[in-house]
């Protein structure tokens, strides 16, 4: 008797969760309940990171230092080039009377948990509303776009990765500006590009960047690289897949981008 | 030696083992192996339901499931329903299950966790997530293989603290 009631209650809750947004105020609290669990399960990882930092031989430290210095030099050179390009870009944009693109502010965050269900591509980061994180904010790693914030708690938030089956984002080909949609397919290493006409100019190796059309993601961040284009004249659309630039299951240190004032 | 006779402490003790199981359930592992992760919470709950059937009730199991849903971020009510059903089956048949040999229990656990996975899969399906049935069976198989280990470890702990 009791089991029937409990099953009915569970089904009601599940349907309310999946099909309505009645539970959304509770979802916010949920991430706060979940956070301590993820923090505890993250302890072994953070300890090994701490140990790596502490017990490093002087030699390897010096080596790393040297490598980092070279990298800084290389990056600085690119930055110098970038500065002149940015200035030129602003001048050209003024000529065209269009608005300047804003410089985005970023916040460094750390992954403290990943979704235990392998078909759900969600991660938990250690920043929340106290740090100004907002729903819909973009998450990057050093290589490219990773996902967007879907739930914000006080000191942690949940991020939906672009490879999740529920996620799609507007992109454009960096080479020619063709606009496309990149959809997740539940595979960490592949994105699907639906509705690509057979005649469209897309080739293997094309870089896809965020187009900013959905007003969700900031413009111009690398998203994926096209890995396969199959044109079958018998089919209406070409089959195109791309590999995400971001290292979905390896990056621990990530960036949250503020492309709008934190107050909103 | 401690003796846990007070029902409240026994409840807390069971809750402690279940929370430990929950921590194992969310411990970050590579996605390639995540399909093989045993359903720790379910296995631990089955152990208590068979061995101390008067303590963790169906409602208790349901609450644990709801906590697991909230922590794991799946569809709420999925684990709750699955664990409540599993607890019900175990409590109805605990005398029979207790009399089985360990290997027979292991096989029976494979079936139970399989049912648990089926319920979770239905619920996750509400959001559009699909897992191939063979992959869900992989986790049932590892859960079943975990059973003898769990049986020994939890049995030891139970003897140590005289939980009856």
Per-residue model confidence as pLDDT tens digits over A132-176: 999 999 999 888 999 999 999 889 999 999 999 999 999 999 999
**Quick one: closest CA in A to B26, which residue?**
A116
Q: With contacts defined as CB-CB under 8 Å, which chain A residues touch B31?
A: 114, 118, 188, 249
Q: With contacts defined as CB-CB under 8 Å, which chain B residues touch A34?
A: 70-73
Q: With contacts defined as CB-CB under 8 Å, which chain B residues touch A165?
A: 128-130
The beta-carbon neighbor of A41 closest among B27, B37, B74 is: B27
List the pLDDT tens digit at each of the 164 positions of chain B.
Answer: 456 667 778 888 889 999 999 999 999 888 788 889 999 999 999 999 998 887 778 999 999 999 999 999 889 999 999 999 999 999 999 899 889 999 999 999 999 999 999 999 999 888 888 888 888 889 999 999 999 999 999 999 888 887 76
Contacts for B160-164 with beta carbons within 8 Å, 24 or more apart? B160/B1, B161/B1, B161/B2, B161/B3, B161/B4, B161/B13, B162/B1, B162/B2, B162/B3, B162/B4, B162/B5, B163/B4, B163/B10, B163/B13, B163/B14, B163/B52, B164/B5, B164/B52
Model pLDDT, residue A98: 64
Interface size A-B, in CB pairs within 8 Å, comes to 111
A196-229 residue pLDDT tens:
999 999 999 999 999 988 888 988 889 999 999 9
Q: With contacts defined as CB-CB under 8 Å, which chain B residues touch A116?
A: 25-26, 34, 37, 72
Model pLDDT, residue B3: 62
| Contact check, Cβ <8 Å, A14/B72 | no
State the complex-level ipTM.
0.87
| Contact check, Cβ <8 Å, A7/B84 | yes
The beta-carbon neighbor of B23 closest among A2, A41, A117 is: A41
Nearest to B32 by CA among A248, A64, A79: A248
Model pLDDT, residue B143: 94
């Amino acid at each position: 008797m009791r089991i029937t009631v409990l099953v009915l209650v569970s089904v009601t809750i599940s349907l309310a969760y999946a099909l309505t947004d009645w539970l959304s105020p509770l979802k916010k609290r949920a991430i706060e309940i979940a956070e301590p669990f993820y923090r505890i399960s993250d302890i072994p990882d953070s300890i090994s990171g701490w140990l790596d930092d502490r017990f490093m031989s002087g030699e390897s430290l010096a080596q790393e230092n040297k490598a980092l210095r070279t990298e800084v030099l290389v990056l600085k050179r690119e930055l110098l080039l970038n500065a002149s390009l940015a200035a030129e870009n602003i001048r050209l944009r003024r000529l065209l009377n269009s608005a300047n693109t804003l410089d985005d502010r970023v916040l460094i965050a750390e992954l403290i948990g990943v979704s235990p269900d392998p078909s759900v591509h969600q991660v938990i980061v250690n920043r929340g509303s106290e740090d100004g994180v907002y729903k819909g904010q973009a998450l990057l790693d050093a290589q490219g776009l990773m996902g967007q914030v879907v739930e914000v708690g006080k000191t942690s938030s949940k991020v939906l990765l672009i490879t999740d089956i529920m996620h799609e984002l507007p992109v454009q080909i960096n080479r020619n500006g063709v606009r496309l949609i990149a959809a997740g397919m539940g595979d960490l290493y592949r994105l699907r590009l639906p509705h690509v006409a057979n005649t469209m100019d897309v080739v293997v190796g094309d870089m896809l960047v965020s187009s900013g059309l959905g007003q969700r993601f900031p413009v111009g961040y690398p998203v994926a690289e096209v890995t396969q284009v199959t044109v079958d004249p018998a089919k209406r659309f070409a089959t195109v897949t791309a590999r995400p630039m971001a290292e979905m299951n390896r990056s621990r240190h990530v960036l949250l981008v503020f492309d709008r004032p934190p107050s909103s | 030696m401690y003796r846990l006779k007070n029902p409240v402490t026994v409840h807390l003790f069971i809750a402690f083992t279940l929370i430990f199981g929950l921590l194992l359930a969310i411990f970050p592992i590579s996605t390639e192996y995540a399909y093989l992760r045993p359903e720790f919470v379910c296995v631990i709950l089955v152990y208590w339901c068979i061995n101390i059937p008067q303590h963790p009730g169906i409602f208790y199991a349901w609450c644990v499931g709801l906590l697991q849903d909230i922590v794991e971020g799946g569809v709420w009510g999925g684990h709750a329903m699955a664990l409540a059903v599993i607890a019900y089956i175990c409590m109805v048949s605990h005398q029979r299950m207790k009399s089985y040999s360990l290997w027979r229990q292991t096989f029976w656990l494979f079936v139970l966790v399989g049912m648990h996975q089926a319920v979770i899969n239905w619920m996750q399906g509400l959001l559009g997530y699909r897992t191939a049935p063979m992959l869900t069976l992989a986790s049932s198989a590892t859960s079943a293989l975990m059973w003898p280990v769990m049986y020994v470890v939890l049995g030891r702990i139970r003897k140590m603290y005289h939980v009856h």
